[in-house]
Each structure stands twice: as structure tokens, then as C-alpha cells.
């Protein structure tokens, strides 16, 4: 079983609709959860972080975390063509020094159709 699993896609969503991206993780000790956006040929860009159960909203983005189900999701409202990218889910264990390595899923490729 992979540590962090995502549907690789591609996921196609009409412009203006809601895009829903999902991620599951295997380690119950995971403490911090992140969503990165990666455009083709570019490096990952942090768009959301979430640390406790529930929803966290930032503009058109909402991250949802359910630690009991080991599930984290990202919703993108009013999808725009510029949202077309690969979305990476990343999970972090809390170690002695606090900051620990991120374990990444392989990413979901999202295409917004105009």
C-alpha cells in the first residue's frame, strides 16, 4: 500500500464548476497535510495547509481533513482554465525537530475545460 494515494486522473472539469481532488494516507501518526499545485515543467507551489479535522477555506480553495478516515481533499470552486495543473497531496509526520520530510502522492492531473 502506498503511503499517500491519489487518483492520477486526468480529471476534467468544466469551467465554473467545482473540482474535487482526493487523497488518502496510511500513517495514522501523520500530523500535517498540504496541497501543492504543479504546472508542467515548474516546481510545486504550496496552495493549502491543514492541520486539524474539518474544513479550511482560502478564496476559491477549501481543504477538508478527516483523520479518522485518513482522508484529505481539496475543493476548487468556480474552476478557471488557469487551475489546470497537477495537484500533489503531501503528508508530514511530526518529528523531534518539528519539520519533517513530506511524503507526496503521485498527483492528480486536473484539466479545466473552457
Q: Using CB under 8 A, pick the residue from 11, 61, 104, 111 that binds another protein.
A: 104
Number of neighbouring beta carbons within 10 Å of residue 53: 11
Specify the residue, 7 or 49, whose C-beta has the smaller distance to another protein.
Answer: 49
Phi, psi angles (nearest 5°) of residue 82: -70, -10
Q: Using CB under 8 A, pick the residue from 50, 76, 105, 108 that binds another protein.
A: 105
Site membership for another protein, residue 22 (CB under 8 A): no
Contact yes or no for 77/62 (Cβ under 8 A): yes
Binding mask of the shown chain, residues 76 to 95, with x at each position contacting another protein by CB under 8 A:
------------x-x-x--x
Site membership for another protein, residue 1 (CB under 8 A): no
| Cell triple for 16 | 465554473
Number of neighbouring beta carbons within 10 Å of residue 40: 8
- What is the distance between the alpha carbons of residues 37 and 46, in angstroms, rounded to a whole number? 6
Site membership for another protein, residue 35 (CB under 8 A): no
Distance in angstroms between the alpha carbons of the first and the last residue of the chain:
36
Binding mask of the shown chain, residues 47 to 66, with x at each position contacting another protein by CB under 8 A:
--x-----------------
Binding stretches for another protein (CB under 8 A) = 32, 34, 36, 42-46, 49, 88, 90, 92, 95-107
Amino acid at each position: 500500500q502506498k503511503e499517500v494515494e491519489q487518483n492520477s486522473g486526468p480529471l476534467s472539469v468544466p469551467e465554473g464548476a467545482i473540482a474535487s481532488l482526493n487523497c488518502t494516507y496510511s500513517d495514522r501518526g501523520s500530523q500535517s497535510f498540504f496541497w501543492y499545485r504543479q504546472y508542467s515543467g515548474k516546481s510545486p507551489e504550496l496552495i493549502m495547509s491543514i492541520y486539524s479535522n474539518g474544513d479550511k477555506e482560502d478564496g476559491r480553495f477549501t481543504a477538508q481533513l478527516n483523520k479518522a478516515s485518513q482522508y484529505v481533499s481539496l475543493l476548487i470552486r468556480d474552476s478557471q482554465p488557469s487551475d489546470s495543473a497537477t495537484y500533489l497531496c503531501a503528508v508530514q509526520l511530526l518529528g523531534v525537530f518539528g519539520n519533517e520530510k513530506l511524503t507526496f502522492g503521485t498527483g492528480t492531473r486536473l484539466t479545466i475545460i473552457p
